[in-house]
Amino acid sequence: MDILNLLLKIALVIFMAGNLLDMGLRLDPRAALGGLRDGRFVSYTLLWGFVLSPALAVGVSLLIPLAPSYATGLLLMGLAPCAPFLPAIVDKAKGDLGYTAALMLMTAVGTVAVMPFALPLLVQGLSVSSWQIAKPLLAIILLPLAVGMLIRHQSADLAARAQPLVKKITGVATLATAALLLIVYGEALLGVPGTLAVAALLVYFAALAALSYWLAFGLGYAQRIVLSAGMTTRNLGAAMAPLFAAGGTDQEAMIMVVLGLPIMVAAALLAARWFGRQGKTRAAASVRLP
Protein backbone atom coordinates (compact mmCIF):
# COMPACT_ATOMS: atom_id res chain seq x y z
CA MET A 1 0.00 0.00 0.00
CA ASP A 2 2.91 2.37 0.63
CA ILE A 3 4.10 1.83 -2.94
CA LEU A 4 0.57 2.30 -4.30
CA ASN A 5 0.15 5.52 -2.33
CA LEU A 6 3.48 6.79 -3.68
CA LEU A 7 2.43 5.90 -7.25
CA LEU A 8 -0.90 7.65 -6.66
CA LYS A 9 0.86 10.84 -5.55
CA ILE A 10 3.14 10.76 -8.59
CA ALA A 11 0.24 10.13 -10.99
CA LEU A 12 -1.83 12.86 -9.32
CA VAL A 13 1.00 15.40 -9.62
CA ILE A 14 1.51 14.57 -13.32
CA PHE A 15 -2.26 14.74 -13.89
CA MET A 16 -2.57 18.13 -12.19
CA ALA A 17 0.64 19.73 -13.45
CA GLY A 18 0.15 18.30 -16.95
CA ASN A 19 -3.36 19.72 -17.26
CA LEU A 20 -2.23 23.16 -16.11
CA LEU A 21 0.83 23.06 -18.39
CA ASP A 22 -1.45 22.04 -21.26
CA MET A 23 -3.74 24.95 -20.42
CA GLY A 24 -0.83 27.38 -20.36
CA LEU A 25 0.43 26.15 -23.74
CA ARG A 26 -3.01 26.67 -25.27
CA LEU A 27 -4.06 29.80 -23.39
CA ASP A 28 -4.50 32.77 -25.64
CA PRO A 29 -4.24 35.86 -23.41
CA ARG A 30 -6.36 37.82 -25.86
CA ALA A 31 -9.17 35.26 -25.54
CA ALA A 32 -9.00 35.39 -21.74
CA LEU A 33 -9.02 39.19 -21.69
CA GLY A 34 -12.64 39.26 -22.84
CA GLY A 35 -13.73 37.46 -19.70
CA LEU A 36 -11.33 39.35 -17.44
CA ARG A 37 -12.67 42.67 -18.71
CA ASP A 38 -16.24 41.62 -17.92
CA GLY A 39 -16.65 42.92 -14.37
CA ARG A 40 -19.92 41.06 -13.82
CA PHE A 41 -18.40 37.73 -14.87
CA VAL A 42 -15.27 38.30 -12.75
CA SER A 43 -17.43 39.17 -9.73
CA TYR A 44 -19.60 36.08 -10.13
CA THR A 45 -16.53 33.85 -10.57
CA LEU A 46 -14.81 35.11 -7.41
CA LEU A 47 -18.06 35.17 -5.40
CA TRP A 48 -19.09 31.64 -6.34
CA GLY A 49 -15.56 30.26 -6.37
CA PHE A 50 -14.37 31.40 -2.96
CA VAL A 51 -17.39 32.54 -0.93
CA LEU A 52 -20.60 30.79 -1.94
CA SER A 53 -19.11 27.37 -2.85
CA PRO A 54 -17.36 26.94 0.54
CA ALA A 55 -20.41 28.37 2.31
CA LEU A 56 -22.63 25.87 0.52
CA ALA A 57 -20.28 23.04 1.55
CA VAL A 58 -20.57 24.14 5.18
CA GLY A 59 -24.36 24.41 4.85
CA VAL A 60 -24.72 20.94 3.33
CA SER A 61 -22.52 19.42 6.06
CA LEU A 62 -24.83 20.99 8.68
CA LEU A 63 -28.02 19.98 6.87
CA ILE A 64 -26.82 16.39 6.40
CA PRO A 65 -24.97 15.31 9.56
CA LEU A 66 -21.59 14.15 8.30
CA ALA A 67 -18.70 12.73 10.29
CA PRO A 68 -16.06 15.47 10.76
CA SER A 69 -13.61 13.91 8.31
CA TYR A 70 -16.22 13.66 5.56
CA ALA A 71 -17.22 17.27 6.21
CA THR A 72 -13.54 18.22 5.85
CA GLY A 73 -13.39 16.46 2.47
CA LEU A 74 -16.49 18.33 1.30
CA LEU A 75 -15.06 21.66 2.45
CA LEU A 76 -11.76 20.96 0.65
CA MET A 77 -13.70 20.51 -2.57
CA GLY A 78 -15.61 23.69 -1.78
CA LEU A 79 -12.37 25.65 -1.75
CA ALA A 80 -11.07 24.22 -5.04
CA PRO A 81 -13.31 25.27 -7.97
CA CYS A 82 -12.83 24.33 -11.63
CA ALA A 83 -11.50 21.00 -12.85
CA PRO A 84 -8.71 21.02 -15.47
CA PHE A 85 -11.02 19.29 -17.98
CA LEU A 86 -13.51 22.20 -17.92
CA PRO A 87 -12.97 23.22 -21.60
CA ALA A 88 -14.27 19.83 -22.82
CA ILE A 89 -17.53 20.25 -20.89
CA VAL A 90 -17.98 23.87 -21.95
CA ASP A 91 -17.34 22.97 -25.57
CA LYS A 92 -19.95 20.21 -25.36
CA ALA A 93 -22.51 22.70 -24.02
CA LYS A 94 -21.58 25.37 -26.61
CA GLY A 95 -20.27 27.78 -23.98
CA ASP A 96 -17.75 30.59 -24.44
CA LEU A 97 -14.21 29.16 -24.51
CA GLY A 98 -12.64 32.61 -24.12
CA TYR A 99 -14.50 33.08 -20.85
CA THR A 100 -13.49 29.53 -19.91
CA ALA A 101 -9.82 30.54 -20.13
CA ALA A 102 -10.54 33.57 -17.95
CA LEU A 103 -12.35 31.48 -15.33
CA MET A 104 -9.61 28.84 -15.21
CA LEU A 105 -6.98 31.53 -14.77
CA MET A 106 -8.90 33.25 -11.97
CA THR A 107 -9.71 30.04 -10.09
CA ALA A 108 -6.14 28.72 -10.37
CA VAL A 109 -4.70 31.88 -8.84
CA GLY A 110 -7.59 32.18 -6.37
CA THR A 111 -7.22 28.62 -5.07
CA VAL A 112 -3.53 29.16 -4.31
CA ALA A 113 -4.28 32.52 -2.66
CA VAL A 114 -7.37 31.55 -0.64
CA MET A 115 -7.09 27.89 0.40
CA PRO A 116 -3.91 28.14 2.56
CA PHE A 117 -5.53 30.81 4.75
CA ALA A 118 -9.20 29.78 4.68
CA LEU A 119 -8.73 26.08 5.38
CA PRO A 120 -7.04 26.36 8.82
CA LEU A 121 -9.79 28.79 9.87
CA LEU A 122 -12.65 26.58 8.70
CA VAL A 123 -11.32 23.16 9.75
CA GLN A 124 -10.69 22.78 13.45
CA GLY A 125 -7.65 20.76 14.49
CA LEU A 126 -6.01 20.74 11.07
CA SER A 127 -2.41 19.65 11.66
CA VAL A 128 -0.89 21.55 8.76
CA SER A 129 0.21 25.16 8.36
CA SER A 130 -0.80 27.64 5.67
CA TRP A 131 2.64 27.38 4.08
CA GLN A 132 2.45 23.57 3.99
CA ILE A 133 -0.84 23.91 2.11
CA ALA A 134 0.48 26.60 -0.23
CA LYS A 135 3.67 24.76 -1.32
CA PRO A 136 2.05 21.88 -3.23
CA LEU A 137 -0.56 24.24 -4.69
CA LEU A 138 2.16 26.51 -6.05
CA ALA A 139 4.02 23.51 -7.48
CA ILE A 140 1.09 21.77 -9.19
CA ILE A 141 -1.07 24.75 -10.19
CA LEU A 142 0.70 28.09 -10.65
CA LEU A 143 4.17 26.88 -11.71
CA PRO A 144 3.10 24.64 -14.65
CA LEU A 145 0.52 27.22 -15.75
CA ALA A 146 3.16 29.97 -15.73
CA VAL A 147 5.68 27.76 -17.59
CA GLY A 148 3.14 26.93 -20.29
CA MET A 149 2.16 30.58 -20.75
CA LEU A 150 5.84 31.61 -20.89
CA ILE A 151 6.60 29.00 -23.58
CA ARG A 152 3.61 30.17 -25.64
CA HIS A 153 4.67 33.79 -25.22
CA GLN A 154 8.23 33.05 -26.35
CA SER A 155 7.33 30.72 -29.22
CA ALA A 156 3.80 29.87 -30.34
CA ASP A 157 5.24 27.20 -32.69
CA LEU A 158 7.08 25.46 -29.85
CA ALA A 159 3.93 25.55 -27.73
CA ALA A 160 1.91 24.05 -30.60
CA ARG A 161 4.43 21.21 -31.01
CA ALA A 162 4.72 20.50 -27.29
CA GLN A 163 0.99 20.59 -26.48
CA PRO A 164 0.00 17.24 -28.12
CA LEU A 165 2.80 15.42 -26.25
CA VAL A 166 1.81 17.03 -22.94
CA LYS A 167 -1.81 16.08 -23.61
CA LYS A 168 -0.89 12.41 -24.25
CA ILE A 169 1.23 12.16 -21.09
CA THR A 170 -1.52 13.83 -19.08
CA GLY A 171 -4.09 11.43 -20.54
CA VAL A 172 -2.04 8.44 -19.38
CA ALA A 173 -1.63 10.03 -15.93
CA THR A 174 -5.39 10.62 -15.77
CA LEU A 175 -6.15 6.95 -16.40
CA ALA A 176 -3.45 5.89 -13.93
CA THR A 177 -4.82 8.25 -11.28
CA ALA A 178 -8.36 6.92 -11.69
CA ALA A 179 -7.17 3.30 -11.53
CA LEU A 180 -4.97 3.90 -8.48
CA LEU A 181 -7.74 5.77 -6.67
CA LEU A 182 -10.01 2.75 -7.13
CA ILE A 183 -7.29 0.32 -6.03
CA VAL A 184 -6.23 2.30 -2.97
CA TYR A 185 -9.67 3.47 -1.81
CA GLY A 186 -12.07 1.08 -3.56
CA GLU A 187 -12.63 -1.17 -0.56
CA ALA A 188 -13.11 1.76 1.80
CA LEU A 189 -15.70 3.29 -0.56
CA LEU A 190 -18.01 0.34 0.09
CA GLY A 191 -18.70 1.70 3.58
CA VAL A 192 -19.46 5.24 2.45
CA PRO A 193 -23.26 5.05 1.85
CA GLY A 194 -23.99 4.59 5.55
CA THR A 195 -22.24 7.87 6.38
CA LEU A 196 -24.63 9.94 4.21
CA ALA A 197 -21.60 11.11 2.21
CA VAL A 198 -23.21 10.21 -1.12
CA ALA A 199 -26.37 12.17 -0.27
CA ALA A 200 -24.31 15.20 0.75
CA LEU A 201 -22.31 15.13 -2.48
CA LEU A 202 -25.43 14.76 -4.62
CA VAL A 203 -27.09 17.73 -2.92
CA TYR A 204 -23.90 19.81 -3.10
CA PHE A 205 -23.16 19.33 -6.78
CA ALA A 206 -26.80 19.60 -7.86
CA ALA A 207 -27.14 22.88 -5.94
CA LEU A 208 -23.88 24.23 -7.39
CA ALA A 209 -24.90 23.42 -10.96
CA ALA A 210 -28.38 24.92 -10.70
CA LEU A 211 -27.80 27.96 -8.51
CA SER A 212 -24.62 29.20 -10.20
CA TYR A 213 -26.48 29.08 -13.53
CA TRP A 214 -29.87 30.47 -12.50
CA LEU A 215 -28.50 33.23 -10.26
CA ALA A 216 -25.98 34.58 -12.78
CA PHE A 217 -28.15 37.59 -13.55
CA GLY A 218 -27.02 39.73 -16.45
CA LEU A 219 -24.87 37.06 -18.15
CA GLY A 220 -25.71 35.46 -21.48
CA TYR A 221 -26.15 31.71 -21.91
CA ALA A 222 -22.61 31.15 -23.21
CA GLN A 223 -21.15 32.82 -20.09
CA ARG A 224 -23.61 31.25 -17.64
CA ILE A 225 -22.70 27.76 -18.78
CA VAL A 226 -19.00 28.55 -18.22
CA LEU A 227 -19.74 29.73 -14.67
CA SER A 228 -22.01 26.77 -13.88
CA ALA A 229 -19.64 24.12 -15.28
CA GLY A 230 -16.63 25.79 -13.66
CA MET A 231 -18.30 25.77 -10.25
CA THR A 232 -19.80 22.28 -10.58
CA THR A 233 -16.45 20.73 -11.46
CA ARG A 234 -13.88 20.74 -8.67
CA ASN A 235 -10.10 20.67 -8.76
CA LEU A 236 -9.70 17.40 -6.86
CA GLY A 237 -5.91 17.45 -7.04
CA ALA A 238 -5.89 20.79 -5.23
CA ALA A 239 -8.44 19.42 -2.75
CA MET A 240 -6.21 16.43 -1.98
CA ALA A 241 -2.98 18.46 -1.72
CA PRO A 242 -3.51 19.57 1.93
CA LEU A 243 -4.31 15.97 2.93
CA PHE A 244 -1.08 14.73 1.36
CA ALA A 245 0.78 17.63 3.02
CA ALA A 246 -0.61 16.46 6.35
CA GLY A 247 0.73 12.97 5.72
CA GLY A 248 -2.47 11.54 4.23
CA THR A 249 -3.61 10.37 7.65
CA ASP A 250 -7.24 11.48 7.25
CA GLN A 251 -8.38 8.61 5.05
CA GLU A 252 -12.10 9.43 5.37
CA ALA A 253 -11.54 12.97 4.07
CA MET A 254 -9.59 11.51 1.16
CA ILE A 255 -12.39 9.02 0.46
CA MET A 256 -14.91 11.89 0.38
CA VAL A 257 -12.83 13.69 -2.25
CA VAL A 258 -12.41 10.50 -4.30
CA LEU A 259 -16.14 9.84 -4.13
CA GLY A 260 -16.75 13.35 -5.42
CA LEU A 261 -15.08 12.57 -8.77
CA PRO A 262 -17.81 10.49 -10.48
CA ILE A 263 -20.62 12.52 -8.88
CA MET A 264 -19.25 15.89 -10.00
CA VAL A 265 -18.55 14.63 -13.54
CA ALA A 266 -22.08 13.25 -13.81
CA ALA A 267 -23.59 16.48 -12.41
CA ALA A 268 -21.55 18.68 -14.76
CA LEU A 269 -22.39 16.62 -17.85
CA LEU A 270 -26.10 16.42 -17.00
CA ALA A 271 -26.25 20.15 -16.29
CA ALA A 272 -24.39 20.96 -19.51
CA ARG A 273 -26.80 18.78 -21.48
CA TRP A 274 -29.88 20.28 -19.82
CA PHE A 275 -28.76 23.88 -20.08
CA GLY A 276 -27.47 23.19 -23.59
CA ARG A 277 -30.98 22.23 -24.66
CA GLN A 278 -32.31 25.45 -23.16
CA GLY A 279 -29.68 27.40 -25.07
CA LYS A 280 -30.63 25.73 -28.36
CA THR A 281 -34.33 26.39 -27.71
CA ARG A 282 -33.68 30.07 -27.07
CA ALA A 283 -31.45 30.34 -30.13
CA ALA A 284 -34.11 28.72 -32.32
CA ALA A 285 -36.78 31.02 -30.89
CA SER A 286 -34.67 34.10 -31.63
CA VAL A 287 -34.17 32.95 -35.23
CA ARG A 288 -37.94 32.57 -35.71
CA LEU A 289 -38.62 36.09 -34.46
CA PRO A 290 -39.21 38.59 -37.31
User: Model confidence over 125-148: pLDDT tens digits?
Assistant: 676 778 888 888 888 888 998 899
- Helix axis angle, 39-47 to 29-36, nearest 10°: 80
Q: Give rounded-to-5 percent helix, strand, coil for the chain.
A: 85, 0, 15
CATH topology of domain 2-281: Na+/H+ antiporter like fold (1.20.1530)
Q: Is the pLDDT of residue 280 over 90?
A: no
Percent of the chain with pLDDT over 90: 39
Q: What does 231-244 look like in DSSP terms, one character per residue?
A: HHSB-HHHHHHHHH
Give 34's Cβ-side CA count (13 Å radius).
Answer: 12
User: Model confidence over 197-218: pLDDT tens digits?
Assistant: 999 999 999 999 999 999 999 9
What DSSP state is assigned to residue 248?
Answer: S
99 and 221 in contact (C-beta within 8 Å)?
no
Q: Phi first, then psi: give them for residue 234, nearest 5 degrees.
A: -125, 145
Residue closest to 156 by CA, chosen among 274, 68, 30? 30
- What is the pLDDT, as a whole number, of residue 289? 47
User: Model confidence over 99-112: pLDDT tens digits?
Assistant: 998 999 899 999 99
- What is the pLDDT, as a whole number, of residue 282? 57
- Chain Cα centroid distance, residue 222: 19
Q: Phi first, then psi: give them for residue 81, nearest 5 degrees.
A: -75, 155
What does pLDDT average to over the chain? Answer: 86
Q: The pTM is what? A: 0.86
32 and 154 in contact (C-beta within 8 Å)?
no
Q: Is the pLDDT of residue 287 over 50?
A: no
Task: Give kind and range of the element (H or E) at residue 173.
Answer: helix 156-189
What is the band of 273 on the pLDDT scale with cuts at 50, 70, 90? confident
Q: Is the pLDDT of residue 246 over 80?
A: no
Query: Helix, strand or coil for residue 81?
Result: strand
User: Model confidence over 173-201: pLDDT tens digits?
Assistant: 888 988 888 888 877 777 776 678 999 99
- What is the pLDDT, as a whole number, of residue 102? 92
Which amino acid, residue 82? Answer: C
Q: Phi first, then psi: give them for residue 90, nearest 5 degrees.
A: -65, -40
What DSSP state is assigned to residue 67?
Answer: -
User: Model confidence over 27-68: pLDDT tens digits?
Assistant: 877 778 888 999 999 999 999 999 999 999 999 999 998 888
Query: How is the chain split into domains, by residue range?
Result: 2-281
Task: Tally DSSP H helices, then E strands, for the chain.
Answer: 14, 0
